[in-house]
Chain A
Amino acid sequence: MDTNDSLRVASLWHSMHAISQQLSLTTGCSKIELLEGNTFDLHCFQSLTGTKFFVVCKLGTQHMEALLKVVYELYTDYVLKNPFYEMKMPIRCEVFDINLTQTVQKDRVALLGR
């Protein structure tokens, strides 16, 4: 996926998330945490600052909330602390990408044993 595709998916999700808040029948419900599709699951975590982290994975994958929490910590370390990163712009921080890939790899090894 290139940057434009990522932006398209992210903005689609952002809008759906916002609309769902308006449609929600349960009072006090503020966000979508899990979307179960036919062929994939989408887990979403929203921080108190409004930044959303979401992951698209195979049906039934476990522990995605924990993964999202770890990604949030990586974001606060490698992206926000980079003085040259402009807020709300696409993230082009190499160290963040490397650490993110390592985390996902570690997760995969732990869950699937490979």
Chain B
Amino acid sequence: MPPAAPRSGDAIFASVERVNAELFTLTYGAIVRQLLTDLEEVEEVNKQLDQMGYNIGIRLIDEFLAKSNVSRCVDFKETAEMIAKVGFKMFLGVTASVMNWDADGTCCSIVLEDNPLVDFVELPDTCQGLYYCNILSGVIRGALEMVAMKTEVTWIRDMLRGDDAYELQVKLLKQVPEEYPYKDDE
């Protein structure tokens, strides 16, 4: 039987059950507010959002692979394109683009055209250091770790902080292929 062709982000997004977008935005907002109340420090909240995103990412990757039928990416450029074109589309319904590649092809930016997490949100002065959408950086980091890539994901531009777009920098630190603890006979 020939292997099934990879599916586009649009096709998968159309085929899954969806939830009211405002419910999603409100739920995420409630999480961030509660974290701010519990942890008080903005840096702690950033870290916690990243950790939550990581825990989501390590599980989400299998669903991504199962539904999209993609085969192993040849290089990091293809990986970044997959995240932007298929991943973001499939899970958030947003289109994203990849740009600003560095010389070795290990670092790029993913720019989001829109962001359902931040509808109706304005950051107050007391939360100026907050990366409101930090859960997304954790999700990407967690998902890539499960496919043998250690990455660092940081926010370059954030519209809630006055920039003109949402830009995430994804940097490949190293590939970590699965190792088996078998010792060769000496």
User: What residues of chain A lie closer than 8 Å to B58, measured between beta carbons?
Assistant: 87
Interface 0/1 of A37-75, CB less than 8 Å to B = 000000000011111000000000001011001001101
User: What residues of chain B lie closer than 8 Å to A87, measured between beta carbons?
Assistant: 58-59
Bound CA–CA A66/B72 (angstroms): 19
Q: Once the chains bind, are B62 and A76 in contact (CB under 8 Å)?
A: yes
Interface 0/1 of B53-87, CB less than 8 Å to A = 00000111111011100001000000000000000
Which B residues form the contact surface with A (CB < 8 A)?
1, 4, 58-63, 65-67, 72, 146-147, 178, 180, 182
Kindly count the residue-residue contacts between A and B in the assembled complex, taking CB atoms under 8 Å apart.
43
Known contacts A72-B66, A87-B58; A66 and B1 CB within 8 A of each other: yes
Known contacts A18-B180, A65-B1, A66-B1; A48 and B66 CB within 8 A of each other: no
Q: Once the chains bind, are A47 and B66 in contact (CB under 8 Å)?
A: yes
Secondary structure at chain B's binding surface: helix, strand, loop or mixed?
Answer: helix
Known contacts A48-B147, A49-B147, A76-B66; A18 and B61 CB within 8 A of each other: no
* Closest chain A CB from B43 CB (angstroms): 26
Bound CA–CA A76/B58 (angstroms): 11
Bound CA–CA A64/B86 (angstroms): 27
Bound CA–CA A50/B65 (angstroms): 12
User: What residues of chain A lie closer than 8 Å to B65, measured between beta carbons?
Assistant: 47-49
